[in-house]
Each structure stands twice: as C-alpha cells, then as structure tokens.
Amino acid sequence: MHEMSVALSVVDQVEQAARANAAQGVRQVGVDIGELAGVVPDSLAFCFELACAGTVLEGARLVMRSVPGRASCEPCGRTWDTGMPPDLVCAQCRSAATELLSGRELRITEVQWTTEADAPPPTPAGRSEEN
C-alpha cells in the first residue's frame, strides 16, 4: 500500500519539525494532493492515523486539499484541466507538446502544533477539574 509509505514520510517530516520547534504535540497537518499523484485520499487518511500512533502526532487531524491537474499547450498557449485519466492533447490545436502545470503535488502545506504554553495547567493530585 503506497499510501502507508506516504503517511510514514509525512509523520517523519512533521516529527522532525516538531522536535526542532520544541512542540509538545501536533493538532493538524495540511497536505496538498494532486489528482494525478496516484494517492487515494481515504487510504491516506486511514494510513495517517495508523502512522501517528505512539508519536507526537497521535490524534492529529489530516486536512487534505485536492489540486486539479492542469496542462498548458506550448504551441498555442491554451491551458486546461486535464481530468482523470489526464487529457494531455490540446483540444484547440491538437498538439501533444504540452506541459503539466499541476496535479502531481504531494506536499505538506501546514502544521499546527502545541507547545508547553498551549498545554492546560496540571490538575492537583486527587482533584478533578469538575470540583
């Protein structure tokens, strides 16, 4: 399952950043996923939850943003959504000399973490917050 390796990579990179920033935990991770990247969002969400277990990311929310595939025709300059499967032939001039502008992304765009200052104060032993 390729999504597990993607999830493990995201967790590893976020853990490194969290350590470097003295984060106590991670609330949310945002990722851009291109529609042509070959990643199944539901599978990635499932794998992300598993990969986070026992790490500083445990309980973190994964927010995925889909990035549409876009192409540009070099001869005539037209741009279009490629769709899936991708249509990489220009409908205007029928050229196949196209450049893929977007849709293959797979990148971390945002991380929200908690620091010691964000943590609630400790409750004295033997007392609950409801008392």
| 47 has binding-site annotation | no
76 is in an annotated binding site: yes
Chain centre to alpha carbon of residue 37: 12
Per-residue tokens: 60:
């973190």
Residue 29 annotated in ligand binding: no
CA-nearest of 30, 66, 34, 36 to 48 is 30
Are the C-beta atoms of residues 14 and 45 closer than 8 Å to each other? no
Q: Please check if 2 is assigned to a binding site.
A: yes
Rg (CA), the chain: 21
**73 annotated to bind ligand:** yes
Q: What angle do CA 105, 109, 110 make, to 5 degrees?
A: 160
Annotation: binding site: 2, 73, 76, 90, 93
Annotation: binding site for Zn(2+): 73, 76, 90, 93
Annotation: binding site for Ni(2+): 2
